[in-house]
Amino acid sequence: MDSASSAASHLSTHPDLSTGPDLARRPAAGLHPHLSIRPLPETDIDRALDLAYLVFHDTPEEEKRKHHHDLLLGCHRIGAYDGDALVGVVVALPFTVSVPGGELPCPSLTFVSVAPTHRRRGVLSGMIAKLYEKCVADGHPLAALWASEDAIYGRFGFGPATHGNTVEINSERPLALRITPDDGPLRLVDPADAPALIGEYYDRTRTRRAGRIARSEAWWSEEWLVTEDEEDDELSPPRVVVLGTRPDATRPGATQSGATQSDATQPDAITGYAVYRTKTRDDAPGLVRLDELEADTPQAAAALWRYLASIDLTGVIRAWGRPVDDPLLLFAADRDQVRVTGQFPALWMRLVDVRAALLARSWAAPADLVLEVKDAQLPANEGRFRLTVDGEHASYTAAYDRTDAPADLTLDVRDLAAAYLGGNQITAVVRAGLATEHTPGTAATLDAALRTDHLPHTVDEF
Ligand SMILES: CC(=O)SCCNC(=O)CCNC(=O)[C@H](O)C(C)(C)COP(=O)(O)OP(=O)(O)OC[C@H]1O[C@@H](n2cnc3c(N)ncnc32)[C@H](O)[C@@H]1OP(=O)(O)O
């Protein structure tokens, strides 16, 4: 493609489109015969980016465009074409996501774009159907995304499976804590060295919570630790602070004072880290914008929060995308000082193959019930299935097989997807009138079986 031509100019010169398409409004399940949906070749990546920048009202600099180009090269890409004109794009990042008890490949949708000339004609629906075909062919039971608008993806069977809290801390006074922070050494790390150091820590610990994305080194350096923040160029470059293990004279390498030379310089000596940026402001206290804080123990987390709250010339910490069950909310001694200012859906999940998805996760309690699942897109998921979970605590095994037995619970696949990682309750879905419990107590049994020790959490927005 001629890189100088944008999707906009391409559309306006296309004979079928210049006068407005003659495409009658089609139901989502059908696609107008003018349109074809097929894999988007490498040679069309520039056109795909033009289309995405058009619909997202973005005018990126060359460097960002090159970054997006490289990102799309490594993804599965689907294009919708009207004749030669590219009118729709869906990109699937080849992610792996943690699920209760393990992890699964999870094609993750991004750059979802339909030309303004072709909206509401089933183009997105057609591309999603194509993506599901690909997931089934590849044996990938899950798909995921972050939604630009809440109303779009439920109809395609996606449910919001993880949520994030926005937390604001008044750090003009010392952070009041009900626990004693870990006294291990804190060390600032050069962001260039951070992927190797905290990347290994993250890999080691990320499956503690479901919903977490495995991060490649490129994802660390080009998404997480990129020098200039994409949304606020007044913020400092990323700062990375790591907490080391407590000085212990008995450890190898300990000095006479008890400190160890290797504390916090080796991934296995780290007990937590925080990634943050700062900025000073004329009209308000200086800001610490926290991107991520992970810790092995509440005491280690408390040490990192206390560090962030005591940075000179700052008076507020704004933390985005914190876990809903963040222990900070309990060990903070003054909840007027530490306030949850918002909550939002983060990772939307799709159980493309309900059976494979359910069998791949761990279970928290026994169950024996018949689910009737509604799935408007994927008939293989539709119908009645007996879910049995047996065995001993911590090693339950599940079976999920089609049955003619009457249903104990009827629910939509999107609500099952929202509950899959343990972050939402089926009992609440029943109470909201969105699922029907034919046998009282079934939803509570299912909730107990799906329960996880920690709520799921996703902070990688894509
Ligand atoms: C994962 C991500 O990348 S999120 C980013 C999504 N992209 C954007 O927001 C960019 C701007 N918007 C667009 O490009 C398009 O409008 C899209 C991709 C959101 C929708 O594409 P379309 O081809 O118009 O969707 P399509 O025609 O297949 O719609 C299917 C159904 O979803 C509904 N729908 C689509 N978009 C929306 C929306 N924004 N809000 C509410 N309903 C919507 C349609 O009304 C239709 O419902 P119906 O079948 O009951 O009539």
pLDDT 10s digits, 287-314: 999 999 999 999 999 999 999 999 999 9
**DSSP label at residue 222:** I
CB of 67 closer than 6 angstroms to any ligand 1 atom: no
Q: Smallest Cα–Cα separation from 318: which of 297, 344, 290?
A: 290
Pair 239, 281 in one domain: yes
Pair 359, 404 in one domain: yes
Regarding predicted confidence, which is higher, 254 or 143?
A: 143
CB of 145 closer than 6 angstroms to any ligand 1 atom: yes
pLDDT tens by residue, 411-458: 999 999 999 999 999 999 999 999 999 999 999 999 999 999 999 999
pLDDT tens by residue, 24-37: 334 445 667 789 99
CB of 28 closer than 6 angstroms to any ligand 1 atom: yes
The answer for 313, left when phi > 0, alpha when psi is -120 to 50, beta otherwise, is: left
How many domains does the structure of the chain reveal? 3
Last residue of a domain, one of 140, 175, 204: 140
Q: Average pLDDT for residues 263-280, to the nearest whole number?
A: 86
| Confidence grade of residue 6 (pLDDT, cut at 50, 70, 90) | very low
Please identify, by atom number, the ligand 1 atom nearest to the C-alpha of residue 114: 14
Pair 187, 113 in one domain: no
User: With pLDDT > 90 as the criterion, what percentage of the chain qualifies?
Assistant: 84
The chain-wide mean pLDDT, for the chain, equals: 90
Q: What b/e string do you get for 273-282 counting C-beta neighbours within 10 Å, with b at 16 or more?
A: bbbbbbeeee
Pair 361, 235 in one domain: no
Pair 179, 107 in one domain: no
Does the annotation mark 153 as catalytic?
yes
Residue 391 has which token pair? 């065995």
Distance CA 167, CA 154 (A): 27
How high is the pLDDT of residue 264? Answer: 61
How high is the pLDDT of residue 392? Answer: 86
How high is the pLDDT of residue 248? Answer: 59
**Which ipTM score applies to this complex?**
0.97
How high is the pLDDT of residue 25? Answer: 39
Pair 214, 196 in one domain: yes
Contacts of 4 (CB under 8 A, 6+ apart): none
Residue 200 DSSP SS3: helix
Q: Average pLDDT for residues 6-10, to the nearest whole number?
A: 30
Distance 22 CA to ligand 1 centre (A): 19
Tell me: pLDDT of 47 over 50. Answer: yes
Q: In the block, which residue shows the tokens 């869906």?
A: 90
Atom 11 (ligand 1): residue with closest C-alpha? 55
Indicate whether 153 belongs to any domain.
Answer: no
Check which CATH number belongs to the domain holding 41 and give it.
3.40.630.30
Give start and end residues of each alpha helix (H) in 275-377: 298-309, 328-331, 354-360
pLDDT tens by residue, 338-396: 999 999 999 999 999 999 999 999 999 999 999 999 999 999 999 999 999 999 877 89
**DSSP label at residue 93:** E
Q: What b/e string do you get for 92-114 counting C-beta neighbours within 10 Å, with b at 16 or more?
A: bbebbbbbbbebbbbbbbbbbbb
Cα distances from 239 to residues 138, 221, 227, 243, 323, in angstroms, run 39, 13, 10, 13, 21
Contact in structure between 449 and 441 (CB atoms under 8 Å):
no
Indicate whether 154 belongs to any domain.
Answer: no
CB of 114 closer than 6 angstroms to any ligand 1 atom: yes
How high is the pLDDT of residue 245? Answer: 86
Last residue of a domain, one of 314, 344, 374: 344
User: Where is the binding site, in residues?
Assistant: 112-114, 120-125, 148-149
CB of 152 closer than 6 angstroms to any ligand 1 atom: yes
Distance 113 CA to ligand 1 centre (A): 9
Last residue of a domain, one of 297, 316, 344: 344
Does the annotation mark 462 as catalytic?
yes
Please identify, by atom number, the ligand 1 atom nearest to the C-alpha of residue 146: 1
Check which CATH number belongs to the domain holding 369 and give it.
3.30.1050.10
Contacts of 440 (CB under 8 A, 6+ apart): none
Question: For 166, how many CA atoms within 13 A lie in the half-sphere containing its CB?
Answer: 8
Q: Within 10 Å of residue 88's Cβ, how many Cβ atoms?
A: 27
Indicate whether 455 belongs to any domain.
Answer: no
The range of the structural domain enclosing residue 370 comes to: 352-450
Cα-flanking dihedrals φ and ψ of residue 103, to 5°? Answer: -150, 160
Distance CA 90, CA 317 (A): 36
Atom 34 (ligand 1): residue with closest C-alpha? 152
Can you give the pTM of this predicted structure? Answer: 0.90
- Beginning with the edge strand found earlier in the chain, give each strand of the sheet holding 142-145 in spatial order: 35-39, 76-82, 85-99, 102-114, 142-145, 348-351, 158-160
Cα distances from 65 to residues 46, 69, 209, 221, 315, in angstroms, run 9, 6, 33, 16, 36
Tell me: pLDDT of 16 over 70. Answer: no
The residue length of the chain stands at: 462
Indicate whether 26 belongs to any domain.
Answer: yes
How high is the pLDDT of residue 101? Answer: 95
Residue type, 405: A
User: How do strand 102-114 and strand 316-322 relate by DSSP bridges?
Assistant: unpaired
Q: Smallest Cα–Cα separation from 156: which of 90, 69, 229?
A: 90
Distance CA 420, CA 456 (A): 10
Q: Average pLDDT for residues 310-335, to the nearest whole number?
A: 97
